[in-house]
Structure 1
């Protein structure tokens, strides 16, 4: 599918709606982590902003969409502020925060792996490069959030349920849809839901990515 046709499907209004939806759910995830870490209001806002915008800014810088959309549209900054305000006053009970973070994070993961891949295609990138940028869009903000919260990023931890794989599957699905001419609003939505469901199922089932083959079990790592 030529980039012009992708632009027609993935027009500015659709892109903005999907981006703002992903930004909101990722911002909620970031703000909830700040609450769990007992951060003050500045910390809550900061984690909401970087979680929501980090991956998209990295994507836009790579594809040459500068200044990044997050710096051109006030809505991209105000949405995380709104999410942070909601969490500040209405956050769930502490013992339930961790699971809520995971659900909102999974929703953002599903949305951003699709929008990131589609936008990369719209800027003329090939399927492999677009898939890589879709994954970056999905996991970039969460990685920055974890670093600021003084945690090892989830995507690097073997002792946590698979995180990057659902984003990879969702981004790859979009790449296949684009290459076969089947990409549209319905298939894009289906890809996002599938990536979200994959991540939630991994959380429920405790699925983890394999470690190095024939790894010496006596050598203990940081999370053993």
Structure 2
């Protein structure tokens, strides 16, 4: 949202409407790629008219999974946790991972996925008291093999000396956007875990378009719970 920052999309303009991605029901379609009754990812408006050449992703929701899960654990937060851990972390059973902001939408999923793979998980949340304990915990429980950082600051400073990866060469994933778009192994792996209760997630719902301001402020001030 900061003006002039480099990002994957244009900055929001002051005084203009802002948008986010949501799920929508197709009420009418004149193209074969999307049919009436489909559920699609689109910018969130009460009603939206899209041209036939607009790239759209249709989801096939599992009837045993809440539809809202495709915005949370089976949506962007889940994909971030899954691919970040799998492709960058390459976790192995017996390793130790430290997750900052471990109570958040992504951090909580990273912790659960790592635990399921047999890793020792150390997680911290946002209170000053917990931040003050990070250095002591890492000194006692380290060294750590994987550090999942959400916030930088003193926790990153404490994690670096405790890490076992300081000499590892940096690795940059070149096809992450393609992987996220195609979703490859993601839904096949996480959907059964969600259905079986092996992966838990927290959603905080704000009802109605009039609650958007409240939701945005909660997210930016850290007063939201989960996604």
With the shorter chain as reference, the TM-score category is under 0.3
Structure with higher Rg: it is 2
Identify, as 1 or 2, the structure richer in helix: 1
Q: Structure 1 or 2: larger strand share? A: 2
